[in-house]
Structure 1
Amino acid sequence: MRQRLRDPMTGLLFVLPMLVLFVIFRFVPTLGAAGMSLTDYKVSGEWSFVGVDNYARLLDDPLFLASLRTTLLYVAVYVPLTMLVSLGTALMLNAAIHAKGLFRGMLFLPYVTSFVLAGVIWRWIYEFDGLLNGLLAKVDLGPVGFLEQSSLVLPALAVVSVWKGFGYSMLILLAGLKSIPGSYLEAARVDGANAWQRFRRITLPLLRPALFFVLIIETIGAFQTFDTIYVMTGGGPARASYTLIYGLYEQGFKFFDFGYAATLGMVLFAVVLIVSLIQRRLLDRGTS
């Protein structure tokens, strides 16, 4: 018995530091937020138990329903776009012969920059007298109010987030591509399969675990996007970029209604969990 327990206990000791950090900084705050959502917690520390009143308040709050719709729309724009960009750049890097390290570093560089700095730079690019409208004016297509029009603000913000964050997913997919045995592709090439057939029948199925991981983390990241919205639009124009996470920030740190803010956080947690489970089920069905 001692011999059989030695290896599991050794593994547990290695993961114990991260497990302790996870419990302290993730699990315990989640339980605290769940409990706070059942109270009317004030900034002074005073609170009283209100049960599910905060959740009932959500159903009668038109701003909550609008922010939920905006969040889902933003996710629907951002996630496919970042998946396409990440996969495309990973395929190009995998096929590149020269200067792979240089291109990998250049493409990864935006990921390690500050969200605030990226927001400030892109806000200047999107302005009426900014770089993008200057280029559009040369072909008589500008100026365009990318951050001033409700129909354009979410795609504009999604482009910024994709530029900022696709580097990490690109590296994950590139590692997945490197793990595919070259003999499979070579055998398909000998059998007469063209590039699209090799990608569809060999590369894509073998890359599915990496794609699923990237899909999950990018979806969670999209639901939690805050910095870009805070710096570039502040939830505007006319609350067109007012997402759930921005509403949570306002309720908690502008109106100091921490109980209601915690309720928004729990709803966001539930939405992310449901979407992730749906993605897992659809991907498993595609695998079978």
Structure 2
Amino acid sequence: MRDPVTGLLFVLPMLVLFLIFRIFPSLGAAGMSLTNWNIGGEWEFTGLDNYARMLDDPTFWISLKTTLVYVAVYVPMTVLFSLGTALLLNAVVTMRGLWRGMLFLPYVTSFVLAGVIWRWIYEYNGLINGLLAKLDLGPVMFLERSELVLPALALVSAWKGFGYSMLILLAGLKAIPGSYLEAARVDGASAWQRFRSIVLPLLKPALFFVLVIETISGFQVFDTIYVMTGGGPARASYTLIYAIYDKGFRGFEFGYAAAFGMVLFAIILIVSLIQRRLLGRENT
């Protein structure tokens, strides 16, 4: 028993922090979702009333649809960015550390700063419309058009967050034995055939991890929307996390906001289990 106890002692500080700041608040939110908790700390047990109210609330369905659309745009964009840059870095021979640091730099900047910068880029007199004007193309109001706001926000989040996933995939590429690729090259396999038949299958565990964390990140998007659009225009960027903020910290309906949070938790859990099922249990 000495080895397990020793290991437990080493992880105990982080385990305590995880329980205090993750598990206990999650359990508290689950309990709060069954009450009408208000800002004064007064509450009354209401059972499933908040969930029944949610099903009749158009705001919930709008935020759910917006979140799903955003995730459908953001996740493939980020995974492709990450995989593409990881493949390029893996092929680079000189100054690899410099390029890796430059590509990772956006990840360590704050979402608020990224949102402010990209809001200026998207503005009427911003960088993109300035370039379009030189091409005699009309200005495009990216953040004021309902059909463009979610792809525009997804691009900002992908630019901000792809660096971490890039490093995970780069580590996965480094773990692939070079002898496999060399043997395939000697046998006459093209670059695409080597990628499809060797690299991609061996990269599945890293891809699964990236897919899961980016999916969770997509469902939890808030900072970019808060800074750039405030849920607009006409609630076109009104996601579930923004609805939780709106109901809880603007409407002071903490029990109702917690119910939104529990539904979001259930959706993320189900999506993660589906992803694990599709990619295969052995690759996780």
TM range (shorter): over 0.9
CA deviations 1:147-178 (Å, max 9, x no partner) are 00000000000000000000000000001101
| CA distance, structure 2, for counterparts of residue 286 and residue 144 of structure 1 | 46
1:85 paired with 2:74, answer no
| CA distance, structure 2, for counterparts of residue 186 and residue 71 of structure 1 | 44
After superposition, where does 1:243-258 map in structure 2 within 5 Å? 243-258=239-254
- Show structure 2 runs of 5+ residues with no match: none
TM-score normalised by L of structure 1: 0.97
2:15 — aligned with what?
19
Cα 1:285/1:31, change in 2 over 3 Å: closer
Letter in 2 for 1:253: F
TM-score normalised by L of structure 2: 0.98
1:163 paired with 2:159, answer yes
**2:258 aligns with one of 252, 259, 262:** 262
Letter in 2 for 1:191: D
1:276 paired with 2:272, answer yes
Tell me how far 1:285 sits from its aligned partner: 7.6
CA deviations 1:56-109 (Å, max 9, x no partner) are 001000110010000000000000000000000000000001110110000000
| CA distance, structure 1, for counterparts of residue 281 and residue 25 of structure 2 | 34
Q: What is the DSSP-based 3-state SS (H/G/I as helix, E as strand, rest coil) of the residue aligned with 2:237? A: coil
- Show structure 1 runs of 5+ residues with no match: none
2:200 — aligned with what?
204
Tell me how far 1:142 sits from its aligned partner: 2.4
Alignment RMSD, CA only? 1.1
Aligned residue pairs: how many? 283
| CA distance, structure 1, for counterparts of residue 122 and residue 143 of structure 2 | 7
1:229 — aligned with what?
225
Tell me how far 1:218 sits from its aligned partner: 0.4
1:174 paired with 2:170, answer yes
**1:193 aligns with one of 189, 192, 211:** 189
After superposition, where does 1:84-103 map in structure 2 within 5 Å? 84-103=80-99
Q: What is the DSSP-based 3-state SS (H/G/I as helix, E as strand, rest coil) of the residue aligned with 2:280? A: helix
Bigger shift: 18-27 or 146-155?
18-27
Letter in 2 for 1:188: A
Moved over 4 A (4+): none
| CA distance, structure 2, for counterparts of residue 227 and residue 154 of structure 1 | 14
Tell me how far 1:140 sits from its aligned partner: 2.1
2:52 — aligned with what?
56
1:132 — aligned with what?
128
